[in-house]
Amino acid sequence: MTEGILIGGSPSTGSSVLVNLLNRRPELLAGPETYLFIHPRLYSDWPAYRRYLINHSKTGGLKSIGWFAINGALLLDPFYGWEPLKLKGLVEDSGDFSSFCGSYFSPAMAKKGATRWVEKSPSNALCMEEFLQHFPSGLAIHTTRDPYDTVASLVSRGLSPFQAVASYLVNTAFALKMEGQERYHRIRYEDWVADPGQYLGKCFRFLGLDWDPNILEPPKEEKEVRMKGWLQSEKGKLGASSLGRFHKMEEGVRDRIRYAISNIRLRKWLPFEAWASAEFHPGNLRDPGLSLSSARPGFLPGTGA
């Protein structure tokens, strides 16, 4: 069974750009977001909850645990090559979650000639721990970015400052639980945009691949994809237009973002064990890929960015 590569992190941390770069490698298949890997119950009780991949439930079933609710998964995108009846049969015939995933990605992999699949949904950050437990050969990549720029990008996409900060915090905290694990790799957007050879090269070695600078050049048939509020195209040539995003916002918007950052507290009942270590404790955080400068101890992680 082929086990794959999971990419996740807060939205607007460069995961879409990264996954499209990886898809330029012939041995990797990286398709549209499925939200397949964000539901803890699929890992822990596949027989009881697999039916909700076919029949969504408004009141129960598969509801994501993150800041924004996702019901079920998106498995019928033509890219993956499944019809409803065939997908239903695959769900019913699969004895466990990992075998279902291997079979699900197989048609698209065969069409491309790929040997490994890559799945990117920002909410994958919520279940990286479960993924690594249930996929013994799977790998997880956590995308991070300067928090102010991340929040600014999310606000530009239509989120309120409070929604944007909360989304950043929840996704980052969940993924950081895997910090130090052998099959987990954290990559910072500012680093690999500025020096792709060093930082993407390190990521490629984590994946067991040789660094190929040719992936930085988009093929002629690849069209640019630019979401609302984005300065960097999802596809196309890699650029530095999104760096310093926060400082390109109007002063009034920056003030609202600062206010949201200084007034959102970590709650004890949320699974934020990652903050317990000295390295990631709020107020003591010094990692340039994760810090928030104007927060105080007890609030969001803060350093002098």
Q: List, for residues 187-232, the tens digit of each pLDDT value.
A: 999 999 999 999 999 999 999 999 999 999 888 766 554 455 444 4
Please state the pTM of the whole predicted model: 0.84
What is the average pLDDT across 36-54?
Answer: 95
Whether 190 is in a domain gets the answer yes
User: What is the structure's pLDDT at 234?
Assistant: 52
Check residue 38 and give its pLDDT. 95
Does 251 score more than 50 pLDDT?
yes
Pick 52 or 236 by higher pLDDT. 52
For the cut 50, the answer to whether the pLDDT of residue 13 exceeds it is: yes
Confidence of residue 277 (pLDDT cuts 50, 70, 90): very low
Quick one: pLDDT at residue 58? 76
User: Bigger pLDDT: 235 or 134?
Assistant: 134
Highest mean pLDDT among 51-55, 76-80, 175-179: 76-80
125, 9 contact by CB (below 8 A): yes
Average pLDDT over the chain, rounded to whole? 83
State the average pLDDT over residues 119-142: 95
pLDDT of residue 66: 72
In this structure, is residue 297 part of a structural domain? no
Higher pLDDT, 250 or 289: 250
Higher pLDDT, 131 or 294: 131
Residue 44: inside a domain, yes or no? Answer: yes
For the segment 150-169, the average pLDDT, to the nearest whole number, is 91
Query: Does the residue 215 lie in any domain?
Result: yes
User: pLDDT above 70 covers what percent of the chain?
Assistant: 79
pLDDT of residue 224: 56
Residue 50: both structure tokens together:
């697999």
Residue 297, φ and ψ in degrees, nearest 5? -50, 135
Q: What is the CA radius of gyration of the chain?
A: 19
CATH of the domain at 137: 3.40.50
> Is 251 contained in some domain?
no
Please check whether residue 36 lies inside any domain of the structure: yes
Burial classification of residue 92, based on how many CB atoms lie within 10 Å of its CB (0-12 exposed, 13-18 middle, 19 or more buried): exposed
- Apex CA 246: angle with CA 243 and CA 249, to 5°? 115
Question: Above 90 in pLDDT, residue 144?
Answer: yes
Residue 278 resides in a domain: no
> Confidence band (pLDDT; 50, 70, 90) for 286?
very low
In the chain, the number of structural domains is 1
Domain presence at residue 250: no
Closest CA to 150 of 74, 205, 215, 229: 229
Which residue has 């699900």 as its token pair? 104
User: Is the sign of the CA dihedral 276, 143, 114, 64 positive or negative?
Assistant: positive
Find the domain containing 46 and state its range: 5-145+177-240
What per-residue confidence (pLDDT) applies to 127? 95
| pLDDT confidence of residue 219 | 82
